[in-house]
Amino acid sequence: MNPCDPSFPDLLIIEEKSVMSICKENILSAWAPNLVLSRRPQITPTVLGILSLYQHVPDSRWPIVYSPRYNITFLGLERLHPFDAGKWGKVISFLKEEKLLSDSTLVEAREASDEDLLVVHTRRYLNELKWSFAVATITEIPPVIFLPNFLVQRKVLRPLRTQTGGTIMAGKLAVDRGWAINVGGGFHHCSSDRGGGFCAYADITLAIKFLFDRVEGISKATIVDLDAHQGNGHERDFMGDKRVYIMDVYNRHIYPGDRFAKQAIRRKVELEWGTEDDEYLQKVERNLEKALQEHRPDVVVYNAGTDILEGDRLGGLAISPQGVVKRDELVFRIVRGRQLPILMVTSGGYQKRTARIIADSILNLYGLGLIGPESASVSAQNSDTPLLPLEVP
C-alpha cells in the first residue's frame, strides 16, 4: 500500500513505537491548524507524542488528571517501600465518595512514550532502565533486581510513565483553564540522566519543556517545591536557565543533600527537624510572595508533597493535616490571586493517611472557589491555547 496514493487512509496509526503517516493535509490542518506542514509529510515520533499528550479536553471534564494505571501493585513488592504506591487511586476514591468527581469529569492520563521522554532524557538513561538492577536502585525496592525486565517495565515503570504523561497533559490544561491537578507525578529527584528516590522520570522538567516548546505565550516558569525533600532533579535540569525560577522549601538534614543542585535554587528555605505549622506556613507565604515579585512567570508548577506531615519518618517535619490543607490553600490563593496558571502534582507522602489529606485539600480548594469548573482565572483561555508552529520534516 503506497502511503502517498490518494486512496490511502487519512490517518494510519500503527502499534507502539511506529510512525504515523498522514497524507491528507486537509485532515490534519482541520485538527491542528497551527502545524506548519510540508507536502505529504511523515510526522516524526516526537511530534506524535506532543499531539497525543496535548489532546483536546471537553469543557465538561475538570482539569484533574488521573488513570487507574498510576497505581503499582505486583506480588506485594510495593509494600517493601514506605511509599504508598496505591495512594493515587485512594485519593480519587475519596473524591468520588464526596461526590466531587466521577469518571466522566476526570481527564484520563496517557502514558508518555520514549519519544516524549527524549525531549528531556538521554537515550543512555532510558536504556539503563531496561536493566532491573537500575530500576531497583531508583525505586529503592531491592527485590526488583530479581524480576525479568519486561515485568519491571509493565508493573513498575509503565505506571510511572503514565503519571509522567499526566503531568505533561496537566501543564497544558493549567494554561487553558487557569489551574490543573495531576493526582500523581512530582518526581522531583529525577533529572535528564539520573533517577533516584522513587523518581524514574523527570515529569516536572518535561511538563515545562513541553510548554516552552509548544504553547504560545509560555516562556517563563516558576517551580514551587514544597515536598519535604530538596528537588534536585529539576534543579539540575534547569541549572543556569533564567526562564525557570525555583523556590524550594525542604528539610536541610535529609536526602538528597545535593549541594551542586542547590546552586539552581533562586529562593532556598531550609528547615530544621520537627518544623511545625506556624513557622512553616509563615515561611511559605512570605517566600512565595517574594518569589512571584522577583520573577513573574507564565505558569507555576507546584510540587505539593505531603511528606511534610507529622509522623513521616522520611520527611522529618511536624506539619499537621490541617497545616497541609492550609499550605495548599495558601499557594493556590496567592498564585491564582495574581492570575497565574498553576499546575499541582502530588509528589511524596509516605503514610497511609496522606491520600485522605490530599483529597481533603482538593475538597477545600473547591469549597473556597479556588478550583472548579467555573474558577478559570482571567489569564486562562476559554478554549485550547494555540500551539506554536512546529516544523515537520
| Catalytic positions, written as ranges | 189
Q: What are phi and psi of 104, to 5 degrees?
A: -80, -10
CA distance 189 to 186: 9
Q: Which residues are CB-contacts of 79 (< 8 A; sequence separation ≥ 6)?
A: none
